[in-house]
Amino acid sequence: MMSERREAPFLCHTLPELGECYYEALHPSGLRVAVYPRAQATYYATLGVRYGSLDRRGPDECPGIAHFMEHKMFETADGGDADSAFAALGADANAFTTYDRTAYQFTCTEHFEEALAVLLRLTGGLYVTEASVERERAIIAEEIRMDTDNPWSRCYANLLRAMYRRHPIREPVCGSQRSIAGLTPERLNRVFDRRYTLPDMVLSVTGPITPEAVWDTVCRTLDGQPGRLVPGHSDRPRRGPGANILDEPPGVWRRRASASMPVAKPLFCLGIKDPFPPVSPRDRLRRELYMAVLQEMLFSDAGTFYNDLFERGLVSQGLSYDFTVETGCALYDLTGEADDPEAVFDAFLAYMDRRHREGFTAEEFERARRIQYADFVTGFDAAEDIAESVLCCTLGGLSLFDYFTEAERLTLVEAEHLFLTTFRPGQYALSVIKPCTAGQK
C-alpha cells in the first residue's frame, strides 16, 4: 500500500507561452499537493486550509475563530511548539488568516524535507488547554486593540461596516474582544475536526525540488498520522461559507461613516460596492481581472482623476486604490489624506458622471489589460508569490495559468458593462477619520 501511494498521479499544468509548468496530485487522504520546481536557492512551502474569517456556520464559528485557531495550531502534543522545530532546522515559519483561508508556511535553504514534515504534522491535531486558550485570548485581545487604534485600519473597517449590512466581511479577521471571549478548548476542537480536514487543504511548494521528492515526504508523514486518513473522504462536498454570504442587499447600507482619532489631517476611504458579486471561483477570477483593468483605467497615478485631485490640492501625495473579491462580495476602495474628504467625494462623483458619458476607448482598455498581464508575468520572479498564487488557485479548483487564459478573453464591452452596473449612485460609501477636537482623545 505504501509503495502504491508513492506513485503520484501528477497532472502537469503548462503555460507554453512563458515556458512555465507545475505539477499537481491528489493524495489518498484528500490533500492536494502542488509543486512548482524552480532553479533557486530557497525553498518555500505553504499549507493552506479552506477556512477563513468569512466561513462561519453554526454557533461554534464566531467572528475571529479562524484567526484564533491559526495561533493555536503551532502547539504540539508534547507541550512544545512547531516554531521551535522549524527554527532548529534553520527554517523561518509564519502563518496568516485571510477572508477565505488560513495558511501556514516556511522558507529554508536546507533540511527542506524535515521542515516539510513539521509543516504537515500540523494537520494531525489541535492541542489546547484552558490555560493556553486564556493566554492566547489575552494576546489576540491586545492585537485587536492595536488594530482598533490604527487610524487607517479603523477607517477601512468603518467603510466595510457602512457598505455591508449582513455579509461577514463587516467583521475584522481577528474578530472582537467580545466574540473571542466565549472560545473554549472544546469549541476549538469541534471546529478543528469539522474544518481542518485534509480534503480542505492544499500544500504548495516552490524551489529546487522534484514533485517525486515532495510526494515521498507527504506520504511518509501523513501515513504515520493515525486517525486523519478517512477512506472516500476526498469525495465529500466542500462546505460553503454560510447563508448570510449570499443574502446581502445590492446597495450600500450606509453612505457615510466617521470617527475622531488623533490624526494630523483627515483620512478617508471611499468604497464602491459591486451589486452583483461573482459566486464561482472562475467567475471570481474573471471579476478580479476586470476590476484590475477598470481600476487601472480609472484611478492610476498617471490618470486624469488622481492628477486633477493632486493639482487642485484636494489630496496629499500617495492616494492608494485597491479592490477585493470574495465569496458574496466585491468592492473597490480609494484611500488617502485630504483636508476636505467631501470635496474629494464630489470630485469623484463628477469624474464618474463624465466617464459614464464618454466611456472608454479601445486603446486605454488594451493598455490597462497589458499592464495587468505584465504584472502576472513578473509574478513568476518570486518563489513566495508563485507558491501563494498556486495555493489560492488550487483551493478554488483552478490552475494558476487560468489567469492567462481568462486575461486573453477580456473584452471592452464586458468591462464597460461592469463599470455601468457598479459605478452608480447607491453603490458608494465614504468613511472618514477626523482629527480630534479640543477635549477629545
Residue-wise pLDDT tens digits, 232-275: 444 444 455 554 566 799 999 999 999 999 999 999 999 999 99
Q: Which three cell numbers stand for residue 126?
A: 489541535
pTM score? 0.91
What mean pLDDT is predicted for residues 422-427? 96
What mean pLDDT is predicted for residues 417-441? 89
Q: Which three cell numbers stand for residue 426?
A: 447607491
What mean pLDDT is predicted for residues 128-154? 95
pLDDT category at 6 given cuts 50, 70, 90 is low
DSSP class per residue in 244-284: GGG---SS-S-SEEEEEES-SS-EEEEEEE-SS---SHHHH
Give the pLDDT of residue 79.
Answer: 79
Q: Which three cell numbers stand for residue 232?
A: 472516500
Give the pLDDT of residue 302.
Answer: 83
Q: Which range, 26-30, 269-273, 300-304, is most confident? A: 269-273
| Tens of pLDDT, residues 62-110 | 999 999 999 999 998 887 889 999 999 999 999 999 999 999 999 999 9
What mean pLDDT is predicted for residues 276-289? 94
Give the pLDDT of residue 241.
Answer: 53
Please say if the pLDDT value at position 225 is more than 80. no
Please, which contacts does 181-187 make with residues 24 or more away whose CB atoms are closer than 8 Å? Answer: 181/137, 182/62, 183/62, 183/65, 183/68, 183/133, 183/137, 184/130, 184/133, 185/128, 185/129, 185/130, 185/133, 187/60, 187/65
pLDDT category at 366 given cuts 50, 70, 90 is very high
Question: What is the Cα–Cα distance from 158 to 156, expressed in whole angstroms?
Answer: 5
Structural domains of the chain ordered from first start? 22-224 (3.30.830.10), 254-435 (3.30.830.10)
Give yes or no for a contact between 203 and 34, defined as CB atoms under 8 angstroms apart: yes
Give the pLDDT of residue 316.
Answer: 82
Please say if the pLDDT value at position 229 is more than 60. no
Give the pLDDT of residue 76.
Answer: 86
What percent of the chain stands above pLDDT 70?
92
pLDDT averaged over every residue in the chain: 91
Question: What is the Cα–Cα distance from 344 to 328, expressed in whole angstroms?
Answer: 29
Please say if the pLDDT value at position 1 is more than 50. no
Please say if the pLDDT value at position 171 is more than 60. yes
Phi, psi of 237 (to 5 degrees): -65, 145
Give the pLDDT of residue 400.
Answer: 95
